[in-house]
Chain A
Amino acid sequence: MPATYEPIASYTAPSAQNSYTFTSIPGTYTDLKMVVNGSFNSEDYVCLQFNSDTGSNYSETPIVGNGSTVSSGRAANRAFIFTQAVAGSGVRFMVQSNFMNYSNSTTYKTVLSRTDCASRDVTASAGLWRSTSAITSIKVYGLVGNNFETGSTFTIYGIKAA
């Protein structure tokens, strides 16, 4: 029986780095799940870009709770999908992003993300990449230019519908 849930790629940062890019993502799955777990050396914002597209083709709607207040926002026509800010200086966080129907060439691509930084806030967001291209690469990076610390992990799984 073919495997339904398979690891595609996994990377552990051997030294501090601003970004990691999953490349050559095969189009043989139905959905993707990405898990990032680590810390930044200074406060930053975890962002996503697809297929090296740096145009204003992204938007997102997050809900954010900081332990005192909860808020919702919207951002459109951006050059990235913003999953949320995370604290710096060794503070642990995790990001889970789900990319449904990532490999089709007919629909825009939706991303559902959860970003959790217990020292800062909890976030759920819906993102959109306005492209009908199949997702073949995903760049994960810190918007401000700070670095993921050594030992931060980046993993992507493929999920098959049949």
Chain B
Amino acid sequence: MATTFELISSYTVGSGGAADITFSSIPATYTDLVLKVNLRSTLGGDYFLFSFNNTSANFSARYIYWENTSVSSASLARYGGRINTTYSTASTFASSEIYIPNYAGSAYKSYSSDSVSEGNTTAAPGSLVAGLWSDTSAINQISLLPSAANFAQYSTAYLYGVKNA
């Protein structure tokens, strides 16, 4: 029987950081995609953005986010989730899981993202995101970009394919 949940590609940020994390040449042979990421930035940027197929156009997203005792909701196109910053507790990274159903189909592409972080301090950001890429193209490239500066060394990203048959 074909494997249902398969690793497509992985990425670990090396010394010096990375301006983005990009998965290219994503095969169209799966039904859905799952991204599992663990991220920290090299400065104060505390969230990441998406681009699909090397474009930042036609995105929308709204989300719930929280930190310490505060919870709010906002909208920001391409919003992917929260990340830890250089000001977060040392050696801590925010974890996110992103689900993209029917990524290779001909309808607009929804995505769902959950981010969490904990550092034994008052700054523990998290978010729940509802996103949409209003494009009928199959997704063959996914890029994650920090809101400022670079992703820090040891940040990781794993892209999995899910088959519904």
Q: Could you tell me which A residues sit within 8 Å of B by CB distance?
A: 3-7, 10, 35, 37, 39, 63-70, 92-94, 96, 114-124, 151, 153, 155, 157
Q: Are B72 and A70 in contact (CB under 8 A)?
A: yes
Please measure, in the bound complex, the distance between the C-alpha atom of A37 and the C-alpha atom of B164, giving whole angstroms.
13
Contact A114 B112 (CB under 8 A): yes
State how many angstroms separate the Cβ of B52 from the closest Cβ of chain A: 14
Q: Which residues of B contact A122 (CB under 8 A)?
A: 62-64, 73, 128-130
Size class of the contact patch on chain B: 35 or more
Within 8 A of A (CB), among B28-69: 31-32, 60-64
The answer to whether B130 and A153 have CB atoms under 8 Å apart is no
Residues of A within 8 A of B162 (CB): 157
Number of A-B contacts (CB under 8 A): 105
Q: Which of B4, B75, B112 contacts A5 (CB 8 A)?
A: B4
Q: Given A3-B3, A5-B4, A121-B130, do A116 and B64 touch, yes or no (CB 8 Å)?
A: no
Spell out B's residues near A (CB within 8 Å): 1, 3-5, 31-32, 60-64, 71-75, 99, 101-102, 105, 107-112, 114, 128-132, 162-165
> B99 contacts which of A65, A67, A94, A153 (Cβ < 8 Å)?
A94
Say what secondary structure dominates the interface of chain B: strand
Q: How far is the CB of B118 from chain A (nearest CB, A)?
A: 18
Chain A residues, Cβ within 8 Å of B112 = 94, 96, 114, 116
**Pairs A–B under 8 Å by Cβ, sample size 22:** A3-B3, A5-B4, A7-B4, A10-B31, A10-B165, A35-B99, A64-B64, A65-B73, A69-B73, A96-B99, A114-B128, A116-B131, A118-B61, A118-B62, A118-B130, A118-B131, A119-B60, A121-B73, A122-B128, A124-B64, A155-B164, A157-B162
Are B128 and A124 closer than 8 Å at their CB atoms? Answer: yes
The reply to whether B110 and A7 contact each other, CB–CB distance below 8 Å, is: no
Taking a contact as CB atoms under 8 Å apart, the answer to whether B101 and A35 are in contact is yes
